[in-house]
Amino acid sequence: MPIFQYKAISTAGEQRSGVVDADTAREARDILRRDGLLVSAIKQSHGRPTKGSKGRAPDGFLARILKSRSQRLSTSSRDLDLVTGVTRQLGTMLGSGIPMTEALRAMIDQADDRRSETIFRQIRERVNQGASLADALEEHPNLFSSLYVNMIRAGEATGNVDVVLMRLADYMQAQRTLRRKVVGAMTYPAMMIGLGLIVVTALMAWVVPNITAMLQDTGQVLPLPTQILVAISSVFQNYWWLGFLGMAALSFAFERVHQQSHRGRRLIDRWMLKMPIVGDVLLKQSVSRFTRTLATLLQSGVPAVQSLEITRDVVQNTIISDATEHIRVRILEGTDLATPLKQTGVFPSVVGYMVAVGEQSGEIEQMLDRIADAYDEEIEIATDRMTSVLEPIMIVCLAVVVGFIVVSIVLPILQIGQM
């Protein structure tokens, strides 16, 4: 059934807007008229275009950039919060015996914006037409990932959709908490570095030139540190734009290599995992994401091979992703999970041993969850350690730079005073 967006005036003279389900625009007007609304404008709201539809953007470099940017925007914090909240509420209502269509209607009624209201109306209409919930959600990939859809499909096959929804909500909440820990740990050093660069740039571009100009007017031979400072200040004044151009070029090259070259992604991800201090946090985050995702999928009834395929696309690190693909291929050949996991050499040895114990005891899902919990705790400790180590290093570096500037300015002043 089509969905129409409308603008109308109520009997009290208030402006109203929203969406309504109807077969035709005329029927939509009749529905709104019965609700006491006088329609001033109405148009059909189109959903996601189907494959092969007209107006498809051509495949090219610009199209790929726009696609990757739209994918990043689709996974924004606001969308994650929306999906997490809706998932938990749906699971609670279905677990209480409320029919699926009524639960979806409740999601429509409490939608905060027109976009989410339209999406849930489209999902409800697809379910009313006989489609499964997983198929309806699959039509909105910007909001519901393949992991989400496959878990719902597995829950529908086993008749435990409410349990799967609650498990999904817990999973997304854990992933969001983990991401906030890592981002929070990275934010402080990034702010310190940015503030330091701003201060040094301001000193070299405006403060130092005025002082050194006064010293040069005395006609005395400046000390070597002061001459070096004058040369650096001249570069900042005359070629500051090269710095911005260089950073933009590096950012573009990094994104180009990371997005379009598998080999480039491997090199970058391997380098990031081997970085001192930071690499340890990133590795623990990847291992936690791998084990948590795999455990959640297996607990929801998704087959092991398909679970590994989904996990491969979720871990967001090429090294871990390639190792996951290796494990999947070996399982297709008939081996267990622990053996190829140890052979990859990517995961810490303790992970392989714990997975082997879980397979022998028949509690692989619970063991994967315990590994994820342990690594979440280690991430918190590692982030605190990283912050405590980086803070004095950055303070010392800034002190050295500012100290060099001060010494370079004070030396010629003392020299003039002695003469």
Query: Which tens digit of pLDDT belongs to each residue from 27-45?
Result: 777 777 777 777 777 877 6
Q: Find how far residue 200's CA is from the centre of its chain.
A: 32
- One domain, residues 200 and 288: yes
Is residue 181 in some structural domain? no
Rg (CA), the chain: 29
Is residue 222 in some structural domain? yes
User: Domain boundary residue among 147, 172, 197?
Assistant: 172
**CB–CB of 287/176 below 8 Å?**
no
Give 371's pLDDT tier (boundaries 50, 70, 90). Answer: very high
- Domain count for the chain: 3
101 vs 36, higher pLDDT: 101
Give 367's pLDDT tier (boundaries 50, 70, 90). Answer: very high
pLDDT at 207 over 70: yes
**CB–CB of 366/358 below 8 Å?**
yes
Q: Find how far residue 127's CA is from the centre of its chain.
A: 30
Average pLDDT over residues 66-77: 45
Tens-digit pLDDT profile for residues 155-203: 888 788 888 888 888 888 888 887 787 777 778 777 888 888 788 777 7
pLDDT at 342 over 50: yes
The per-residue pLDDT of the chain, averaged, comes to: 80
If one counts every other C-beta atom within 10 angstroms of the C-beta of residue 142, the result is 13
Report the distance separating Cα 36 and Cα 13, nearest Å.
11
CATH number at residue 41: 3.10.20
Q: What pLDDT does residue 370 have?
A: 92
Determine the 3-state secondary structure of 37 from DSSP.
strand
- One domain, residues 97 and 210: no
Q: What pLDDT does residue 72 have?
A: 43
Q: What pLDDT does residue 59 have?
A: 42
Q: What is the pTM of this model?
A: 0.64
Q: Find how far residue 67's CA is from the centre of its chain.
A: 15
Average pLDDT over residues 43-58: 46
- One domain, residues 112 and 40: no
Is residue 16 in some structural domain? yes
Q: What pLDDT does residue 260 have?
A: 66
Is residue 137 in some structural domain? yes
- One domain, residues 19 and 77: no
**CB–CB of 379/288 below 8 Å?**
yes
- One domain, residues 8 and 106: no
User: Domain boundary residue among 118, 143, 172?
Assistant: 172
Q: What pLDDT does residue 368 have?
A: 92
Q: What pLDDT does residue 394 have?
A: 83
Identify the domain containing residue 28 by its residue range.
3-45
- One domain, residues 32 and 144: no
DSSP string, 107-122: HHHT-SSHHHHHHHHH
Average pLDDT over residues 245-272: 78
pLDDT at 66 over 80: no
- One domain, residues 118 and 228: no
Determine the 3-state secondary structure of 5 from DSSP.
strand
pLDDT at 258 over 50: yes
- One domain, residues 196 and 330: yes
**CB–CB of 277/383 below 8 Å?**
no
Is residue 52 in some structural domain? no
- One domain, residues 35 and 124: no
Is residue 152 in some structural domain? yes
Q: What pLDDT does residue 52 have?
A: 38
CATH number at residue 408: 1.20.81.30
- One domain, residues 273 and 135: no
Backbone angles phi, psi at 52, to 5 degrees: 80, 5
- One domain, residues 82 and 205: no
- One domain, residues 98 and 9: no
Is residue 57 in some structural domain? no
Is residue 394 in some structural domain? yes
Give 419's pLDDT tier (boundaries 50, 70, 90). Answer: low
